[in-house]
Amino acid sequence: MNNIAGSRSALVWIVNLCVLGLVCLWLFPTFGLFVSSFRTADQIATSGWWRAMFASEQNLTLRTAPPESQVQQGDLYVIEGNLFGDNPDAVISVWGVSSRDIDAYTPGETAELRRGGEITVQADGGYRLVNTEAFEGNRGPRVFVTATTPPELTFQNYKNILFDPANVDGMAKAFFNTLTVTIPATIIPILVAAFAAYALAWMDFPGRALLIAAVVGLLVVPLQLALIPLLKLHLGVGIGKSYLGIWLAHTGFGLPLAIYLLRNYMAGLPRDIIENARVDGATDFQIFTKIILPLSFPALASFAIFQFLWTWNDLLVAKVFLIDASGQTTVMTAQIVELMGTRGGNWEILATAAFVSIAVPLLVFFAMQKYLVRGLLAGSVK
Residues 258-317 that bind another protein (CB under 8 A): 259, 283-285, 288, 309, 312-316
**One-letter amino acid identity for 128?**
R
Q: Shortest gap between Cβ of 73 and another protein (angstroms)?
A: 28
Q: Which stretch binds another protein (CB under 8 A): 69-77, 79-87, 268-276, 362-370?
A: 362-370
CB of 211 to another protein, least distance (A): 7
| Span interacting with another protein, options 64-72, 74-82, 206-214, 294-302, rule CB under 8 A | 206-214
Residue 153 interacts with another protein (CB under 8 A)?
no
Question: Which of 55, 91, 172, 218 is in the footprint of another protein by CB under 8 A?
Answer: 218
Angular region, 149: left φ>0, alpha ψ -120 to 50, beta rest? beta
Establish if 367 lies at the interface with another protein (CB under 8 A).
no
What kind and span of H or E run contains 265? Answer: helix 243-267
**Which lies closer to another protein via its Cβ, residue 76 or residue 221?**
221
Integer angstrom CA distances of residue 272 from 1, 145, 283, 285, 291: 54, 82, 15, 17, 12
The helix (H) or strand (E) run that includes residue 76 is strand 76-82
With contact defined as beta carbons under 8 Å apart, do 333 and 315 qualify? Answer: yes
Q: How far apart are CA 217 and CA 132, in angstroms?
A: 89
On whether the CB atoms of residues 145 and 109 are closer than 8 A, the answer is no
Scanning 69-77, 125-133, 154-162, 214-222 for contacts with another protein by CB under 8 A, the matching segment is 214-222
Tell which one of 74, 85, 294, 327 touches another protein (CB under 8 A).
327
Cβ atoms within 10 Å, residue 175? 20
Candidate list 121, 161, 174, 200; residue touching another protein; CB under 8 A? 200
User: Residues binding another protein: what is the number (CB under 8 A)?
Assistant: 138
- H or E element at residue 92: strand 91-96
Does 85 interact with another protein (rule: CB under 8 A)? no
Structural contact between residues 371 and 301, judged by C-beta atoms closer than 8 angstroms: yes
Residue numbers 32-61 binding another protein by CB under 8 A: 32-33, 36, 44-50, 59-61
Q: Determine which residue in the list 108, 165, 229, 294 makes contact with another protein, applying CB under 8 A.
A: 229
Is 213 among the residues that bind another protein (CB under 8 A)? yes
